[in-house]
Amino acid sequence: MTTTVAQHTPAPSTDIASTAIDSTDTDSTDADSTNADSSDTQSSDTASTPAAKTVPERQNLLGMSREQMEAFFLSIGEKKFRAAQLMKWIHQEGSDDFAAMTNLSKPLREKLARVAEIRGPGVVYEGTSSDGTRKWVLEVEDGSYVETVLIPAENGKRRTLCVSSQVGCSLDCSFCSTGKQGFQRNLTAAEIIGQVWVAQRSVGPRRDTANRPVTNVVMMGMGEPLLNFDNVVPAMKLMLDDNGYGLSKRRVTLSTSGVVPMIDKLGDEMDVSLAISLHAATDELRNELVPINRKYNIRALLDACHRYLSKCPDNRQITIEYTLIKDVNDQQEHAEQLAALLKELPCKINLIPFNPFPNSGYETPSRNQTMRFQQWLYDLGYTATVRMTRGEDIDAACGQLVGRVKDRTKRSARYIQSVQLDAD
């Protein structure tokens, strides 16, 4: 394992108890008094000296869609075809320096430097696992940390980037470490696409369509993507745009725990690949593992999947994600229930052995049990693959991403308290 850490800050711990930030840390009374003092000082200064000229804030162009970029160029008196040129510099060359964009005129480059910027997330930590998996801990606008992971496969020909959509997660799936951190906020489109931008810059710029630094993107990192719809969809459109990352819609996958109305809305907007975090074949068990099931049950979720597929112009399958947890959902009866449930849905099943984290209360099934479960599904006529655990030595495996979250839900405080009580 190798790591690279930004010199100005230490690598953050991925232990939940040490990285979660309780929202009660901010003292509103002190903040109010500080603001009042600042206001008094400002009034005094204003009386004695002329007001300083306000420097206009430069626009960050990183998260702009093609339409937004065209509108930006028109707003500064330039032709909208410049949008395509700039997008290629940003997303395909990984450039953040206007002066280096040599197919733009020097006056335009100078104008862009005055009114705009290309600002991605700050890299706080970069680590490489013994299996080649790479993880970045990224600092976003408010000082929070999110994590993104690049998983190589097929001798490096396939590089799948797992992208986060929220700081923390607004859901609380019982087997997922991210959910125990609580939830702070949605990421912006720039912060989402910025993860792809950082990874591509680190691996190297795209030289041709057959040699991409990132070949696939899965919205499976921190957060529930469909609860940040208004930022996730524009970011995914940038991933697909020929002037952006130029990925095929089959190579961009959104994973959801089952926000049914937003699955319908997604189908109206675009037809990327869809993955469902199912993990159980009965409502009783899924209510325990994936609490959003209490609002949108399995039948409603599968109906939404059928509607989504009906809007796709080609033959498509849903990916069913099923985390195997020892003695919880890994027995033959569970395989039979799953097969019966999915018999009408065009799908493939991705089995994920549970990745442990402290105080989860769950265990990973043995390899033999995992293989037995896979064979039961094969015998029942299903394509089922087992997702290899990758990046476990750098806490980059599925369900292990934590970042740093100023929790608005108090969920992280409750979780830390439970860990401490168990220790006592």
Just list the catalytic residues.
147, 398
Task: Tell me the two tokens of residue 288.
Answer: 């325990």
Tell me the two tokens of residue 55: 């420097």
CA distance 115 to 99: 14
Q: How far apart are CA 32 and CA 35, in angstroms?
A: 5
Backbone angles phi, psi at 376, to 5 degrees: -60, -40
Q: What are phi and psi of 345, to 5 degrees?
A: -105, 120
Distance CA 134, CA 117 (A): 27
Q: CA angle, 183 as apex, 223 and 165 as ends, to 5°?
A: 25
80, two tokens: 């909208």
The secondary structure element, H or E, covering residue 22 is strand 21-22
Question: Judging by DSSP bridges, how do beta strands 122-128 and 2-5 pair with one another?
Answer: antiparallel
* CA–CA separation, 402 and 396 (whole Å): 9
User: Within its chain, how far is the Cα of 153 from the centroid?
Assistant: 20
| Other CB atoms within 10 Å distance of the CB of residue 62 | 22
Q: Identify the burial level of 297 via C-beta atoms within 10 angstroms of its C-beta, where 0-12 means exposed, 13-18 middle and 19 or more buried.
A: middle
Q: Roughly what angle, to the nearest 10 degrees, separates helices 298-311 and 260-269? A: 0
Amino acid at 255: S
Residue 378 neighbours by CB under 8 Å, 6+ apart: 384
Unique residue bearing structure tokens 């009783």: 284
